[in-house]
Amino acid sequence: MTTEPLPEHPEPLWRNPEPRSSYDVVIVGGGGHGLATAYYLASVHGITNVAVLEKGWLAGGNMARNTTIIRSNYLWDESAALYEHALKLWEGLPDELDYDFLFSQRGVLNLAHTLQDVREGTRRANANRLNGVDSVWLGPDEIAEVCPILNTSPDTRYPVLGGTYQPRAGIAKHDHVAWALARRADALGVDLIQGCEVTGFLKDGNRVTGVETTRGRIHAGRVGLAAAGHSSVLAELAGFRLPVQSHPLQALVSELHEPVHPTVVMSNHVHVYVSQAHKGELVMGAGVDAYNGYGQRGAFHVIEQQMAAAVELFPVFARAHVLRTWGGIVDVTPDASPIIGATPVDGLFVNCGWGTGGFKATPAAGWTFAHTLATGVPHPLNEPFSLDRFTTGALIDEHGAAAVAH
């Protein structure tokens, strides 16, 4: 028997360096947000003596588990500014990073199935337009034109009464986004250190001076946490608390199909969100499992509900087969908005609480967190998203726009 020789392994996109004993900035978490933070620290702020510490492999957590939806149609001024900044950065990143990560602005529909949904949706579309976000309100007939496979007949259990549509929204290939950011951050001098779990924090009084890791002690001028579902665990090690709860969030894909789904559809009420990947899989997301969990898996009845919603909305999916399902751990805040800024520990900053919607914000999370880590003070975009807001009461309630049940 003869076998073809294996092809040459492609050139690695980043080095695999040993950790040094000290960095100006250490970022804990090598997912999309950590990598974007490192990239902007180096490219915008000229700070290249930076390490990104990842306990597993780069972008193997929620960056590998999300449903890749990108949009900026959030209700409040603070959120619209932050997510729209992200969308504008997305529009330039493929060129800036010289990497085609299949960013596809195919639009997003957020469906309304009840009178309350209609009121919330029209209000949000109007608020979006006042903030320069390209949302419009569509009726069922217009929705049928945007997405012909969607069942917009009045005969369903929860008829589509209308929906918001943001044409500039879309999807991107999540793994490639991470690799594009990692390659460029690495080229600018950032050390991306995998298999390096933070096990404790070094402090001088109330100031953080470094981290203990499974690969030794690493000193740092400033430390940024970008660890999503494990943020509470790290905060506890550092001696403070976060108002977040970690939940499993599940998603699944079908086997490959011909292109049938031209846009992204999200339904809060019957609850599923669906797009079709470039390769052909139907990508569908569920609501969170109700209980707190770190297990990166959830219950099947949640998937069952999600599939019932998908088949109700898209009768054409009824005979598609599930190829695989998975779960990630999302850190949910009381107001469904992120926390980006200072912590009670000097020199230690946190980017967390993105809950079910962190992927779309990857560039803006990186942009604002890099600014915060570089200057020690928040960027105007993330100033409202301080940890302090839970004490002052200046919450930014985005449970409606978050569009994923939790």
Partner 1 sequence: MLLVTCPWCGPRDETEFHYGGQAHVPHPADPAALDDRQWAEYVFYRENPKGPFAERWMHATGCRRWFNALRDTASYRILATYRPHEPRPSPQPVETPTAPPSPGDRRAAGSSGGNR
Choices 16-24, 59-67, 90-98, 226-234; region in contact with partner 1 by CB under 8 A: 226-234
Q: How far is the CB of 345 from partner 1 (least distance, A)?
A: 16
* Distance separating alpha carbons of residues 299 and 30, to the nearest angstrom: 27
Which range touches partner 1 (CB under 8 A), out of 98-106, 132-140, 234-242, 374-382? 234-242
174 makes contact with partner 1 (CB under 8 A): no
Provide the β-strand partners of residue 202.
Answer: 210
Give the distance between the most distant pair of CA atoms in the chain. Answer: 73
Element (H, E) at 182: helix 174-187
Interhelix angle for 174-187 vs 77-96, to 10°? 70
Q: Compute φ and ψ for 139, nearest 5 degrees.
A: -85, 175
Residue 255-294 contact track with partner 1, rule CB under 8 A, x = bound = -----------------------------------xxxxx
Among 131, 135, 245, 268, binds partner 1 (CB under 8 A): 245
Q: What is the DSSP string of 55-73?
A: SSSTT-SGGGTS--EE---
Looking at residue 389, what DSSP letter applies?
H
In whole angstroms, the minimum distance from the beta carbon of 124 to partner 1 comes to 24
Residue 299 interacts with partner 1 (CB under 8 A)? yes
Token pair of 37, please? 């933070």
By CB under 8 A, residue 232 contacts partner 1:
yes
55 touches partner 1 by CB under 8 A: no
Q: What are the E-state strand segments in 184-332?
A: 191-193, 198-204, 207-213, 216-225, 245-256, 264-267, 272-276, 281-288, 322-332
Provide the minimum distance between the beta carbon of 60 and partner 1 in the complex, in angstroms, as a whole number: 17
Is 244 a binding residue for partner 1 by CB under 8 A? The answer is: yes
From candidates 233, 256, 322, 323, binder to partner 1 by CB under 8 A: 233
Q: How far is the CB of 257 from partner 1 (least distance, A)?
A: 29
The candidate with the shortest Cα–Cα distance to 333, out of 306, 359, 349, 351, is 351
Q: With the C-alpha atoms ordered 257, 259, 260, 266, is the resulting torsion angle positive or negative?
A: positive
Q: Taking CB under 8 A as the rule, which mask of x and - marks residues 314-353 in contact with partner 1?
A: --------------------x-------------------
Total chain residues near partner 1 (CB under 8 A): 24
Give me the residues that bind partner 1 (CB under 8 A), please.
Answer: 230, 232-233, 236, 241-246, 290-295, 299-301, 334, 390-393
